[in-house]
């Protein structure tokens, strides 16, 4: 929700979401709820792209496939934290585009971009590292509005009792698992 706040109004805009993990899949559902005209997702993992389509994105590409696309994007949630993702999406930004960089929370190599393009295309870049209580409240309100059969509800799991947290942490390291859950 902090990322959407940073983007400003998104209704009627086309959105790029890079990274289709749990955050990216949730962002697709939220973007549709906020009235975006279309969502394009880029993720290298096939089953994540399939989940993105189930979540309601208009198209889901590998990074190589996305490089061949020519449609500019108005808004971008960069959730992967990948320099390659940044470099692949930067040249797709429309005039006046807004970008929320969220996924880059770990040290990485530097990346470059053209400052003249930022200025001439009037691109807004926002880095989002955390969220405030209002963002958490909006997220809970959004999730509570979803119908019980929304595909987002089935993405968490496997579920563990709290006393099995070591097994849950091992399971969470599996790239095929979006999120583990705990129950009392």
pLDDT surpassing 90 at residue 176: no
List C-alpha distances in Å: 71 to 20, 39, 49.
Answer: 20, 12, 19
Q: What is the mean pLDDT of residues 1-22?
A: 97
Q: Taking a C-beta distance cutoff of 8 angstroms, is the pair 74, 13 a contact?
A: yes
Fold type of domain 2-127: Rossmann fold (3.40.50)
Cα 99 to chain centroid distance, Å, stands at: 11
**What pTM was estimated for this model as a whole?**
0.92
- Give the residue extent of every domain in the chain: 2-127, 151-183
pLDDT surpassing 90 at residue 157: no
Q: How far apart are CA 98 and CA 73, in angstroms?
A: 9
Task: Round the average pLDDT of the chain to a whole number and report it.
Answer: 94
- Give pLDDT, residue 171: 92
Alpha helices in the chain (DSSP H): 2-7, 22-33, 46-55, 63-67, 83-90, 115-120, 133-145, 165-172
pLDDT surpassing 90 at residue 177: no
Q: For residue 10, which phi and psi values (nearest 5 degrees)?
A: -115, -5
Q: How far apart are CA 133 and CA 131, in angstroms?
A: 7
Q: For residue 77, which phi and psi values (nearest 5 degrees)?
A: -105, 110
Question: Which carries the bigger pLDDT value, residue 182 or residue 41?
Answer: 41
Q: For residue 66, which phi and psi values (nearest 5 degrees)?
A: -65, -35
**Per-residue pLDDT band at 163 (split at 50, 70, 90):** very high
Q: Name the least confident of 55-59, 61-65, 145-149, 164-168.
A: 145-149
**Per-residue pLDDT band at 156 (split at 50, 70, 90):** confident
Q: Taking a C-beta distance cutoff of 8 angstroms, is the pair 67, 90 a contact?
A: no
Longest dimension (CA), the chain: 56
- Give pLDDT, residue 118: 95
- Give pLDDT, residue 155: 86
pLDDT, tens only, 102-134:
999 999 999 988 999 999 999 999 999 999 999
Cα 101 to chain centroid distance, Å, stands at: 10
């Amino acid at each position: 929700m902090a990322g959407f706040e940073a983007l400003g109004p998104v209704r009627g805009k086309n959105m790029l979401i890079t990274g289709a993990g749990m955050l990216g899949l949730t962002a697709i559902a939220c973007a549709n709820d906020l009235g975006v005209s279309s969502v394009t997702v880029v993720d290298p993992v096939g089953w994540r792209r399939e989940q993105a389509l189930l979540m309601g994105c208009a198209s889901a590409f590998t990074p190589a496939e996305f490089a061949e696309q020519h449609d500019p994007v108005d808004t971008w949630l960069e959730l992967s934290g990948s320099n390659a993702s940044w470099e692949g999406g930067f040249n797709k930004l429309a005039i006046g585009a807004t970008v929320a960089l969220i996924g880059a929370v770990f040290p990485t190599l530097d990346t470059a971009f053209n400052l003249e393009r930022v200025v001439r295309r009037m691109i807004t870049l926002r880095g989002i590292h955390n969220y405030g209580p209002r963002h958490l409240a909006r997220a809970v309100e959004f999730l509570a509005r979803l119908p019980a059969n929304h595909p987002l509800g089935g993405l968490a799991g496997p579920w563990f009792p709290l006393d099995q947290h070591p097994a849950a942490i091992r399971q969470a390291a599996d790239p095929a698992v979006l999120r583990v859950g705990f129950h009392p």
